[in-house]
Structure 1
Amino acid sequence: MDADSPQARWEQRTELPLALASLAFLAGYALHVLAPGLPPFWHDLCLTVIFTAWALFIVDYAVRWRLSGQRLRFVRTHWLDSLVVLLPLLRPLRIVRLYEAVQRRHGQPRLSLHARVITYAGVSTALLGFAGALAVYAQERDAPGTTMHTFGDAVWWACSTLSTVGYGDVVPVTSMGRFIATGLMACGLALLGAVTGSFSSWLIQVFSLKDESGDA
């Protein structure tokens, strides 16, 4: 994509506002799930923030689709954006792009490629784990036979799921909870592979440079 194209200019202008909207969405959803006893005013405010941020995501997607001129090809090439429109709780994962946007305005990124991959994967894992724990806890806390009685149980479950350990002491019992768990496991495998692959590549590069220095 051309850096001077209308789509690129739109993305540069909306990157920060949409990142803030993502955080607002996550905060509103967290309050909605973790504080069900809120007064009606605050409950309605949380819902307003959630749906306003969701509307902004949809508008952004529609504008970029229109500016790209790609029609259905845009959906295939921007599958994460398409998924976020349906599952806005994944939108905070795009916050990690904010660092890249800032660095592009100030020249080359300060971190190496390997450090950026590990950092982005780590931040993505934390955001995904928190969002996944919220979503599953909202489905499981009142379900018959649930083992997820507190949000702490949900966080423990999310950590064991993302790390692919899966102790089995806390498991989702609802259909929607298991659906969310399936997506979380897939994302956990992808993120774990990105971190281990990048770290292994970095080690190989370091040892190769040392060997070359020793031979010289």
Structure 2
Amino acid sequence: MNIFHTLIEQMQVMQLPLTAVTLTAVPRADTPLLLMMHWHGFRQQPIAALPALKPLLQPVPGSALQINDRWRQPEVVEEAILDAAWQLGAWDVQREEHRACTYVGASEEEAFACKQAFGKYDEALENELLVSEAPDRDEMLHLGAKVGYVRWQFRPVNGGVWQSTAEDDTLLEDGRRIPPCPIRPLALKGGKLTTTAFRLGQINRIILLK
């Protein structure tokens, strides 16, 4: 499983900077993974009723990609996302463990968070917000709602919008880091909502504020 190479391929195709990368998994062996890329950019959208007017600028929709690589333990998935985040210069990786949200008493917030994690939005807006190449996304959502899911997120420096503002002494000039990633995966903790932060970046100098 090489999420880093997948991201590089998508970045080369889109030719746009990334604001964030998220990966969602159902904690069941060999289930598909959902990789979502959030781009920074705009596209021209003509006004159908008024074609003579200047087209509106609309945000470029995110991309959702299904990964079908086989895996047995969640640590394998986590190692792949940590490796990608490390090489792309992210300051940290945030992991969220969510319980199932279909049981009696589950809150609306939990159900909404589950839909967002699998890129499901209002049908009228979904095509504007996401371009999906994930044919099993509905099934992934239903299983995640039934048994729970894990979501990782990081903000890349290399190939991202943060390259000009990053303060991190572990980065090369272009915002990358040389592999391997020294941070190791951690076992899942479980619970209603459990968050874990993997710190990748480091500052070894004093920053003077102007």
User: Greater share of helix residues, 1 or 2?
Assistant: 1
TM-score above 0.5: no
Structure with max Cα Rg: 1
| TM-score of the two chains, using structure 1 as the length reference | 0.28
TM-score (norm 2): 0.28
